[in-house]
Structure 1
Amino acid sequence: MKQLIETIVKPLVDYPGDVRVTKGEQDYRVIYKLSVNPEDMGKVIGKKGRVAKAIRTIVYSAAGSHHGKKVYLDIMD
């Protein structure tokens, strides 16, 4: 899943080397935290959050049932 997020985000940004995805697990959920260069934040979020919503939709669909855990994607500022 980490690689999927990086594959989606890196072509969108000017600084692909600054893209970082970390994974955290809790009882009933898996949280992926995405951080990018501050200059690329607008490109990842998009107008009215459309790009971020599209990325989340793809990630949630690809995750399916992640061993009974819900998958979340947080975009860190």
Structure 2
Amino acid sequence: MKEFVEYLVKRLVKYPDEVSVDVRPDGEDGETIYVKVAESDVGKVIGRQGKIIMSMRTLVKAAATKQGKKYSVEIADGKSGKA
């Protein structure tokens, strides 16, 4: 799933070399995918009224359902690395 999210995000941003994706456990059966991008690219990943990130979360949820897992996608801020 990490590679899938990384692929999607790198196609959206101006600086794909600055994209990093980190997956961390979240409870017993879930994981959180943290996406870090250049500060100038955050708006491109979120999209107008959050439509891009919501669509990405929907795609990840659909793919995760096939795997029997739960994932959430968060945009990490540049200072702490956490959402």
Letter in 1 for 2:15: Y
* C-alpha distance in structure 1 between counterparts of 2:3 and 2:60, whole Å: 11
| 1:11-30 correspondence to structure 2 within 5 Å | 11-25=11-25, 26-30=27-31
Corresponding residue SS for 2:14: coil
* C-alpha distance in structure 2 between counterparts of 1:60 and 1:23, whole Å: 15
Deviations along 1:38-64, one digit per CA (max 9) or x if unpaired, are 000000000000001011111111111
Identity of aligned residues (%): 36
Deviations along 1:23-48, one digit per CA (max 9) or x if unpaired, are 11132321111110000000000000
* C-alpha distance in structure 2 between counterparts of 1:52 and 1:31, whole Å: 14
TM-score, length of structure 1 as denominator length? 0.89
CA RMSD between the two structures: 0.9
Aligned residues: 74
Corresponding residue SS for 2:72: strand
* C-alpha distance in structure 1 between counterparts of 2:8 and 2:56, whole Å: 7
Shift of 1:11: 1.0
Q: Which runs of 5+ in 2 are unaligned?
A: 78-83
Runs (4 or more) in structure 1 with deviation over 2 Å come to: none
Q: Which residue of 2 aligns with 1:46?
A: 47
